[in-house]
């Protein structure tokens, strides 16, 4: 079962997250362009080491935003390496001690393409909202690409949807598998949905994505399709379809 302590994050190959880390007590995490270039180089090394992909980024004064697609290595390892390496350099270069970043970064799993479509322009518009520049292409420390990225239509976009939590289904290889109830609770908490919605026949993108995730995690924890179908109140053929879609859409999850 998932404990009552600090919440962790869901991990599967191909998962996309919106991640953000802020300086402790709001302090700046970049003193100059050297620091920013060092951070970008650390980000490049992190992607090479972990096989992850940065879909969008923006470096601000006291925080940064990433849209990141992970591979086999979990987001926590990616972020800890990136944050730790930058913090060590920053402290050494600026004769500083103590933590540079707040205790834990913030991250939300992207459950559907609609959220991701809003997230990328939201990230690129950070310096515009802060009043640092008048247009995203004027900010040199982001991944914005003129003529390719559309940075509009984000007025109603919520980067941290209310009701979502950060839950992790990753675990050491020698730990006990999660039961179906624990998997369901984790996914419902992350997606901000109710038990009745996850087990319903309602076909909306967020619920379908959550059910695919449930089927994939059930398989990773040793549960067969029949058990997953019974828990979801779904047919075996529906669960088989979710398994096939998970393999294709979520980036190579092992088949059930």
> Vertex 162, ends 181 and 187: CA angle to 5°?
20
Strand, coil or helix: 74: coil
Is residue 147 assigned to a domain? no
- What's the gap between Cα 1 and its chain centre? 22
**Which structural domain, as residue segments, surrounds residue 111?**
16-138
Listed residues 138, 170, 191: the one ending a domain: 138
Q: Could you tell me if 122 and 184 lie in one domain?
A: no
Is residue 172 assigned to a domain? no
Is residue 201 assigned to a domain? yes
Tally of domains in the chain: 2
Is residue 144 assigned to a domain? no
Task: Find, among 10, 115, 107, the residue nearest to 68 by Cα.
Answer: 107
Listed residues 138, 166, 188: the one ending a domain: 138
pTM greater than 0.85: no
pLDDT tens track for 45-88? 999 999 999 999 999 999 999 999 998 888 888 998 899 999 99
Write out the H or E segment, with its range, that includes residue 57.
strand 53-59
Is residue 152 assigned to a domain? no
Q: Could you tell me if 129 and 185 lie in one domain?
A: no
pLDDT tens track for 208-219? 888 988 888 888
pLDDT tens track for 129-144? 999 999 999 999 999 9
Question: What's the whole-number mean pLDDT along residues 188-211?
Answer: 86
Q: Could you tell me if 113 and 27 lie in one domain?
A: yes
Q: Could you tell me if 36 and 131 lie in one domain?
A: yes
According to DSSP, residue 255 is labeled: P
DSSP 89-156: HHHHHTT--S-SB-SS-EEEE--SHHHHHHHHHHHHTHHHHTTS-SSGGG-SSB---TTT------TT
Asked if 126 and 65 touch (Cβ cutoff 8 Å), the reply is: yes
According to DSSP, residue 160 is labeled: S
> Vertex 84, ends 126 and 128: CA angle to 5°?
5
Is residue 53 assigned to a domain? yes
Per-residue pLDDT at 175: 53
- What's the gap between Cα 31 and its chain centre? 27
Listed residues 138, 158, 188: the one ending a domain: 138
Q: Could you tell me if 126 and 184 lie in one domain?
A: no
Q: Could you tell me if 20 and 114 lie in one domain?
A: yes
Per-residue pLDDT at 14: 84
- pLDDT grade, residue 182 (50/70/90)? confident
Is residue 189 assigned to a domain? yes
- pLDDT grade, residue 155 (50/70/90)? low
Is residue 58 assigned to a domain? yes
């Amino acid at each position: 079962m998932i404990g009552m302590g600090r919440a962790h994050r869901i991990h599967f190959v191909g998962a996309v997250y919106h991640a953000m880390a802020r300086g402790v007590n709001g302090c700046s995490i970049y003193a100059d362009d050297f620091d920013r270039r060092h951070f970008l180089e650390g980000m490049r090394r992190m992607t090479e080491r972990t096989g992850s992909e940065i879909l969008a980024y923006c470096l601000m004064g006291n925080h940064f935003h990433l849209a990141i697609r992970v591979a086999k290595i979990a987001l926590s390892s990616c972020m800890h390496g990136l944050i730790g390496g930058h913090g060590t350099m920053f402290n050494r270069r600026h004769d500083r001690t103590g933590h540079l970043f707040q205790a834990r970064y913030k991250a939300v799993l992207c459950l559907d393409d609609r959220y991701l479509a809003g997230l990328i322009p939201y990230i690129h518009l950070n310096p515009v909202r802060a009043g640092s520049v008048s247009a995203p292409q004027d900010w040199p420390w982001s991944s914005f690409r003129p003529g390719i990225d559309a940075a509009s239509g984000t007025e109603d976009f919520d980067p941290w949807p209310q009701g979502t939590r950060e839950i992790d289904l990753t675990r050491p290889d020698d730990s006990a598998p999660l039961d179906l109830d624990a998997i369901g609770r984790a996914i419902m908490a992350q997606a901000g949905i109710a038990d009745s919605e996850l087990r319903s026949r309602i076909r909306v993108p967020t619920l379908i994505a959550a059910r695919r995730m449930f089927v994939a995690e059930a398989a990773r924890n040793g549960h067969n399709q029949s058990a997953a179908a019974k828990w979801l109140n779904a047919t075996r053929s529906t669960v088989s379809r979710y398994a096939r879609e998970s393999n294709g859409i979520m980036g190579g999850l092992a088949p059930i």
